[in-house]
Structures are given as structure tokens and as C-alpha cells.
Chain A
Amino acid sequence: MDQIMLNKYDEMLFTPGHRACPGCGATIAVRAILEATGPDVIVVSPTGCLETFTAQYPYSPWGVPWLHVLFENAAAVASGVEAALKKRGLSDKIKVIIIGGDGGTHDIGIGALSGMLERGHNVTYICYDNEAYMNTGVQRSSATPVGASTATSPAGTQSWGKERPKKNLPAIVLAHGAPYVATASIAYPKDITRKVKLALSIQGPKYIEVHSPCPIGWGFDSAQTIELAKLAVQTGLVPIYEAYQGQPIKVRKIPKRVPVIEYLRNQKRFRHLVEGQGDQAHLALIQAIADENIVHYGLV
């Protein structure tokens, strides 16, 4: 039996046994991504949750070659991997992808990402967006949604949590002229796989942002990861769309809209907004963001 299990693991590109928290959204994303890439891929990751829970020497769940350098340079490192593969005549055979969190992507790594996009490297950058620096103790990132309480944007008598809206990185990537930009959610793993496959078939830099709930950082029951991810999409707060050559090609429609309060009330990071009578003014502001997304992205 043990041998059968071992043989099974040998063929897996991402094995169980890593150190992710129960209910981690990022691991669902990783499995869906590797389903699309197959074994002929080199994965680059910046420092972050994924790096921490998959690469503690001498253990690793990776069944594909994997490279971590620093926090803020995954896009530059992947550019170098791609250049070396080109020189070795392996560009057609081996794909280069990045899997990184929102901290390494939206914030400290955005300079390197911009460089990679501008130079036009044939790399697919996938960000698992769990909306804060989870690995280091849930500090706010620029991808943290407005109103969320984090370790560095705590709600208090003088604050309602993070006071700035989420950075729209897909739009920034689109402005670089990247040929393929998409958003996705771990609520729909098959959609992630399809989008990564499509991205890999396109030459040039591609960007996919995967919304990935974090039970620890957001404060919800770890059995509810998928449900919560679905709710986020159904409210309109997380629009799922894709664009090819700068033009929208597909949008995930929301058959039945859910008020944002239904999504917010299950998470400790928004508790200060929903408890008691509720912070109606700020709840209305968050609802307005969802309403705007519905119109802007054509979600209904």
C-alpha cells in the first residue's frame, strides 16, 4: 500500500504533505495551474506563503523544477530563466510560469513585473490573490479590499480598516499591452486550468489573477473556502473576465446577485462593519464598488 502511494506521488506535480494551512485557497490554485502546464514547466515563486509552505529544506511537494530567489524579483528571475531556455533551444518545450502572492506581485515586485511586461518575455505570471501579507501575519497589501481590518490597517475608533480601495493590477498589466490578462477564482478550478492553458498558447507576457480566500487572514471557517470564494464573485466584488490583445473576450456572468453584506458577514476582517447596527455608511460604500463592477465589467 505504501509503495502504491509513493508511486502515485511520483507522478503528481504537487504532492500532499506540504505545510499550507487547512482550507488554503492558494493550494487549490496551484493544483489547477499545474493541471494546465503538465510536467514540462519551470515554476518561479517569490517569497510568500507558497514559498514558505512548499520549500522548507529538505522537503518539497514540487514535482516540477521550482525556483525561489527573493520577494520582489520573481518577474525578473523568470525573465532570466526564459532567456536561458531560449539560448539552450528549449523555449518551445519548456514553459516558464510564475506563481506568486499579491504582496510579491502588487507591491514589492511590481517594478520587476513592469520590466518583464515591457520587455515582452514569454512568461505566464499567475498571482494567487489572498488580499494581504498572510505569510508574515496578515498585514495589509495594496490588494487588500477597502474596509478590511489587518495587522497594519486595524479597525479602531479612528479607523474602519484599510481606507484605500484595492489596486487594479490587471488594468495596470493591460496598460503595458500584455496580450492576455485574466482574472479567476479558486471557486472555479476548471476555469483556472482553461485560462492557464490558453495563456500558455499565447506568445509574450500573460497575467492571471486568482482570487484565493485565506481562512487565517480573513477569519472564516476553513471548510468554507470555496463557498466564500463563490460569494465574492456573486456579489460583484471580484469580477471574473479575460482580455486578449487588450479587448475583453469573456466575462463570467452572475445569474443571481448577492448583496455584499452576505459575503462580508462571514469574515472576521469585516466584523467591525457588520456587528451591531452595522456601519451602514461604509457598507454602502463597499456595495457601491460591487455595483460599479457590475456595470463596468458587464457582469449581469
Chain B
Amino acid sequence: MVKGKLSVMEGSMAIAQAVKVCRPAVISAYPITPQTHIIEFLAQMVANGELDAEYIRADSEFSAASILAGASATGVRTYTASSSQGLLLMTEVIYYLAGTRLPVVFTGANRQITAPIGLQPDHQDTMSFRDAGMIELYVEDVQEAYDTHLQAFKIAEDHDILLPVMVCMDGFVLTHVFEPVKTFDQEDVDAFLPPYDPIHYLTPEKPMVFGSGSDEVNTMEFHYMNHQAVLRARDKIEAVAREFEDAFGHYRGGLIDTYATEDAEVILVAMGSVIGTLREAVDVLRGEGVKVGLVKVRSFRPFPAEALRQAISHTGAVAVLDRALSFGYQGILATDVKTALYDAPQRPLVLGLMVGFGGREVNLDTVREIVQRTQRALDTGHVPNEAEFIGLKTEIMPHFPVVA
């Protein structure tokens, strides 16, 4: 029997529907600008009695995450959504959640970080949690966002994992767009995702301390255990994606996805909604005889180093499209891709390309330019810049000395 019902809805509504069928006990949010409609739809579902959850309207995004820390420690399923500045405001709590192993699920609707203030998507916000000890999954379309939320709770709450998980989806491009989405019935989701069964939680029956202090005697061991849990998630993310396929009939998940990579001379590597554009561009360029392929990095943490090595080390050159920058070094994804390749027996050239900042469009022309630059590097055997800014409007900037 085919499960699910296909209908056209806004991305935010699809996420709200996914969260609803996951039955969170406590939701808390703060509608800082920019936010999405997700938390408004969830508020309406609670108001209508369609969703039996405690919905706490927090006084800030920092408090929203803190409220969920308290609720999660009390042994219930928890959820919030935010973007940009709101996510940054949650940062201190997110580190705590990972270190205390509290499996809160977040939607990170990617948007540019101030300054300058802006509403459009890039990845600077969510990638700032790279070292927080949490799991981050990036999705390319609304269906994948819906599916990944169902998987996220299962991954987060697994007794071998117990970590916060953030599903990262590009703001506006995915949260505000209307797309056909297959949603699933409550009973089918219940069969896939059992109720949260916490190992440790606050109860007078067995008094327990959460949030102890630690120093040189034990802190390294706490960090090692957190690190191991994130690493274990590599297998868990794959396993849950397969369970999802068994339950719902389609596979959307895993650590990476590859497209036309086998014989590719140039491979594009990227994350998020730009993947859809890149798939199209690969088809067009293949039609013109260019041997180009694509790798989608879906799991940013844990980072799929081995899967990437297998997918790209055979090729001539790799172009990493980065929507987040480590100022003073290079693109954040490019750095990780290069690090993964260092241990490969054969290493392709890697170009780090800055695109899509503040939501700037990445279209076929952008991809053409990127592929041409990559082919040029392949011909010369040389990568001119660690971080190349594509489409940089030098004419609007004041004069200043430029360094390579």
C-alpha cells in the first residue's frame, strides 16, 4: 500500500505538519526577526486542539532554547525553530544541550547574519554550530525537509546518540515556497517513531544532578563521549534513512548524495537548496559534453569524510560551493572537504568558491563560470585562490589593497 498524501503547501506548513505528527510534548519559540511561519502554524494547531503540546511563548530565542533544556531534562520530546540572529542567541544553550546530551530537535531556517542585517538565506548562521557537539543535516527541498524532521527525532533520541539535531533548510527559498509534499498519517509516523524513552530525567523517585561542574580531572572524558556520540550518528543517520524507506517507501537521507559522479572530471560539492539548481545544471552541461558531477553533503556534523573520499577522490578537480565563510581563511565547507581528502591515496584539486551570500542567486551562468574556472585549474594544475568570490562586484567597493 502506498503511504502518504500528496498536496501543495508552503515549506513552513510542511515542517509544522511534520513536527505535529512527531508529537512533541513541549514546543517553545520566539518570533525574532527573521523567523518563519513554522511556529505560527504550530501555535494554531495547538490552539485548534490538533496538537496536544505545551507551547511556551518565550521572551527570547535564548529563553526558548533554555525552556526546552528544562523540558528535555524532565524527560519529554521537545522542538523549536529559529533563524539567523535567533540561532546565534541560542548558541550558549546549544552547547549545553550537546554536552548534557539532551535531544532537542531544531529547525534552522538558514538566513544571513547581521551585519549587514538581511532576510535571505546563506549558511553562516547554522554553520557557526560546527563545533557545538550537535548533529546538523542540510536539506535541498521541502519534501526532504519534511522527511528529515521525522528522522531527526529518531536520531536525536536514540540511546546511542542522545544529541540535539538541527535540520537546516534555506530560509525563504524552502520555508516560504509552495511545493508538492507527501505527508504521512499519524498512525504510520507513530509506527516509525516511538514515544521518547529517556534514560536519565529529573524525578524525585531517583534524584539526579544535571549540569555538574567538571575540570581537568574529567572534562576531556565528557568531550570524548560527546565526540563519540556524534561519530556514532554517521551509522545511525544511514540506518534511520533506511528505516524511513521501509516505512514510507522512499529514501531521503543518509550522509551524502551523489549525482553523475562516476566518470566526472569535475565534481561540484554543496549543501542545501542550491542542490536542486546544480542537478539541473549538471544535466545541461552533460548535454553539452562536459563531464561534471555533483555531491550533496547532507550531514555536516557528523562530517562524512570517508563517504566523501569515496565519492570524489577519483576525480580531477572538485569545486566546493560555500555559503559560509571563515573570515581570514576560506569557505567552511571547503576547509572540511580538503581535510577529508588529505588522507585519500589520490587527491583532486579543490577550489573553494564563495556563492549565494545573503541569498544571491546561483543560476546556470554561475555554475558555468564555476565549471570553467575548475577546468582551468585542471589544465594548469594550479588553484589560484583559497577562496574565490564568484560574481564579486568590485566596481561598487571603495578602493583598498587586495591580498590573495
Contact = CB atoms under 8 A, between A and B. Distances in A.
Nearest to B217: A57
B30 to A, nearest CB: 9
B74 A88 contact: yes
A76 B211 contact: no
Among B25, B70, B213: residue with most chain A CB under 10 A:
B70
Nearest to B74: A84
A6 B62 CA distance: 41
Interface string B58-94: 1110111011111111111010000000000000110
Given A76-B58, A84-B26, A94-B203, 20 more contacts: A55-B211, A55-B213, A65-B203, A66-B207, A67-B70, A68-B212, A69-B96, A73-B62, A73-B63, A73-B66, A80-B70, A80-B73, A81-B71, A81-B74, A83-B67, A88-B75, A111-B59, A115-B58, A115-B59, A119-B56
10 closest A-B pairs by CB:
A80-B70, A115-B59, A68-B211, A84-B74, A76-B66, A73-B66, A80-B67, A80-B71, A77-B70, A57-B212
A51 interface: yes
Contacts of A111: 59-60, 63
B96 A87 contact: no
A51 B211 CA distance: 9
A287 B394 CA distance: 67
21 contacts: A39-B204, A52-B213, A55-B211, A56-B212, A64-B204, A68-B211, A69-B69, A76-B62, A77-B67, A77-B69, A77-B73, A80-B28, A83-B26, A83-B67, A84-B26, A87-B53, A88-B76, A112-B60, A112-B63, A115-B58, A115-B59
Q: Is the interface of B mostly helix, strand, loop or mixed?
A: mixed
A56 B213 contact: yes
A87 B59 contact: no
B56 A55 contact: no
A51 B64 CA distance: 22
Interface of A: 39-42, 44, 51-52, 55-58, 60, 62-70, 72-73, 76-88, 94, 111-112, 114-115, 118-119
A119 B64 CA distance: 13
Contacts of A60: 209, 212
B66 A70 contact: yes
B208 A65 contact: yes
B177 interface: no
Interface core residue of B75, B78, B92, B211 (most chain A CB under 10 Å): B211
Nearest to B212: A57
B63 A115 contact: yes
A80 B68 contact: yes
Interface in B1-44: 25-26, 28
Nearest to A84: B74
A114 B58 CA distance: 10
Given A79-B67, A112-B63, A56 B214 contact: yes
Interface residues of B, number: 41
B342 interface: no
Contacts of B28: 80, 83
Given A76-B66, A79-B56, A84 B204 contact: no
Contact of B202 (A67, A70, A72): A67
A248 B78 CA distance: 40
B330 to A, nearest CB: 33
Contact of B210 (A41, A67, A118, A119): A67
Contacts of B26: 80, 83-84, 87
A26 to B, nearest CB: 16
A94 B78 CA distance: 20
Contacts of B203: 65, 94
A50 to B, nearest CB: 12
Nearest to B67: A80
B214 to A, nearest CB: 5
Contacts of B208: 65-66
A79 B70 contact: yes
Interface in B214-243: 214-215, 218
Contacts of A52: 213
B74 to A, nearest CB: 3
Contact of B207 (A62, A73, A88): A62
A296 to B, nearest CB: 30
B245 interface: no
A136 B264 CA distance: 59
A288 B236 CA distance: 67
A84 B54 contact: yes
B291 interface: no
Contacts of A114: 59
Given A84-B75, A115-B58, A69 B67 contact: no
B373 interface: no
A69 B59 contact: no
A84 B92 contact: no
Q: Which of A55, A64, A81, A86 has the most chain B CB atoms closer than 10 A to its own CB?
A: A81
Contacts of A51: 211, 213
Contacts of A63: 207
Contacts of B176: none
B204 A40 contact: yes
Contacts of B213: 51-52, 55-57
- In the complex, which of the residues B58, B74, B212 has the most CB atoms of chain A within 10 Å of its own CB atom? B74
Contact of A112 (B25, B59, B207, B209): B59
B57 interface: yes
Given A64-B207, A73-B93, A115-B60, A81 B212 contact: no
